[in-house]
Amino acid sequence: MSTAATSELNPNVSKATASAAAQAAKANQPVTFGKALNTALADALTVDESVVIFGEDVGTLGGVFRITDGLTDRFGSERCFDTPLAESGIVGMAVGMAMNRMRPVIEMQFDAFAYPAFEQIASHVAKMRNRTQGRLPLPMVIRIPYAGGVGGVEHHCDSSEAYYAHTPGLKVFTPSSVADAYLMLREAIDSPDPVVFFEPKKLYWSKEAVDLAQLAQDYEARRTPGSEGKARIARAGSDATLITYGPSVSTALEAASLAAEEGLSLEVVDVRSIVPFDDETVGASVRKTGRAVVIAEAQGFASVASEIVARVQERCFHSLAAPVLRVTGMDIPYPAPTLEKFHLPSAERILDAVDQLQWEA
């Protein structure tokens, strides 16, 4: 289901942003993931005057990861501003602003620093529409830089998506490509529902040749297919399916390249939209290959990966040649920087799991 197909399109979008995006990127020049997010925010501020951005250090500094760089200068301190250092306050104030006809896009500085806001998110952001029988929708985006692989200290590397995915009323997106970073953030901001938008920290500096101006034009002309509820085939293959999302997509792609050298063809499915989940694309891939491994950085117990395994075996049991396996973070608190490599899924660990998919049978 794409946002463009829903009945509650963002009514505030009026102006076009092609010129803004054009300034940000020339055709097919390498663009970072972070710049794509920054451009998406700028374009949303341009086309929709109800969009406001706030959080900790997002104003003058431009965010600790510079995702809001230049926005206060360009759009003014009423559109992009710093708040007191209080996450529950940031989310709670955003709820009230969304109640009063604005579209807040707020930043939680790091995954684990979003926990003080959990009550506001679980009890209000997620439930207000339902509580009021649809009368009080809360269009808002909570951006959360998440996951590890960047040598971060404690509380800076959590993969906390399961808490939010478990909470009905929230949509949960996580892009893994530069184009998706732009398009999915635009889509999240235009969504009539609250979206928790997980940005893999290790991808902020990754580059791809992407024409952001063209993407902006296509998005605003509704020519791009929506990504909400749509998984993406990141690499086509025929022997087994690697199902993954966010920071683990690049690891899965690396594993697929290594496997190809051995003559094994692995398909990589990037879930992108954890909620709503695309059973169709995931199921079609597994039915085609007959084997699957689910990969995620988060601890595996009671995780999004567990949910995907359950859904795949419920829907694809008769197509499966082997049990669906998981390669996830260990069930331990996130380790200190020098030890994180032992915790995180690696290409080697993924290939070991692929080896166990009962190829002899």
Told to judge if 166 belongs to the known catalytic residues of this protein, a careful annotator would answer no
What minimum distance in Å lies between the beta carbon of 101 and another protein? 7
Both tokens assigned to 7: 């009945």
**Which residues between 224 and 243 bind another protein (CB under 8 A)?**
229
Q: Which residues contact 146 (CB under 8 A, 6 or more apart)?
A: 110, 111, 158, 159, 160, 161, 174, 198, 199, 200, 201, 246, 247
Q: Which of 113, 111, 91, 200 is nearest to 160 (CA)?
A: 111
- C-alpha 113/C-alpha 109 separation (Å) is 7
Report the residue from 51, 80, 102, 292 that binds another protein according to the rule CB under 8 A.
102
First-last CA distance in the chain: 38
- C-alpha 240/C-alpha 268 separation (Å) is 9
* Residues that contact another protein, how many (by CB under 8 A): 56
DSSP labels, 88-127: HHHHHHHHHHHHTT-EEEEE-SSGGGGGGGHHHIIIIITT
Q: Between residues 108 and 354, which has the closer beta carbon with respect to another protein?
A: 108
- Should residue 7 be labelled a site residue for another protein when binding is judged by CB under 8 A? yes
What minimum distance in Å lies between the beta carbon of 93 and another protein? 4
Q: Between residues 3 and 299, which has the closer beta carbon with respect to another protein?
A: 3
- Should residue 168 be labelled a site residue for another protein when binding is judged by CB under 8 A? yes
DSSP labels, 269-293: EE--EEES--HHHHHHHHHHHS-EE
**Which residues between 61 and 100 bind another protein (CB under 8 A)?**
77-78, 81-84, 86, 88-89, 91-100
Q: Between residues 141 and 213, which has the closer beta carbon with respect to another protein?
A: 141
Q: Between residues 101 and 318, which has the closer beta carbon with respect to another protein?
A: 101
What minimum distance in Å lies between the beta carbon of 113 and another protein? 14
Site string for another protein, 171-190 (x = CB under 8 A): x-------------------
- Of the residues 156, 166, 318, 343, only one is catalytic, namely 156
**Stretch near another protein under the rule CB under 8 A, chosen from 182-190, 255-263, 274-282, 352-360:** 274-282
- Should residue 119 be labelled a site residue for another protein when binding is judged by CB under 8 A? yes
- C-alpha 57/C-alpha 81 separation (Å) is 8
What minimum distance in Å lies between the beta carbon of 7 and another protein? 7
Burial of 29 (0-12, 13-18, 19+ CB in 10 A): exposed
Helical packing angle, 212-220 and 178-190, nearest 10°: 30
Site string for another protein, 131-150 (x = CB under 8 A): xxxxxxx-------------
Q: Which of 61, 59, 55, 87 is nearest to 155 (CA)?
A: 87
Query: Which residues of the chain form contacts with another protein (CB under 8 A)?
Result: 1, 6-8, 52, 59, 77-78, 81-84, 86, 88-89, 91-102, 104, 116, 119-120, 123-124, 127-137, 168-169, 171, 191-193, 229, 275-277, 279-280
Instruction: Return the active site residues.
Output: 156
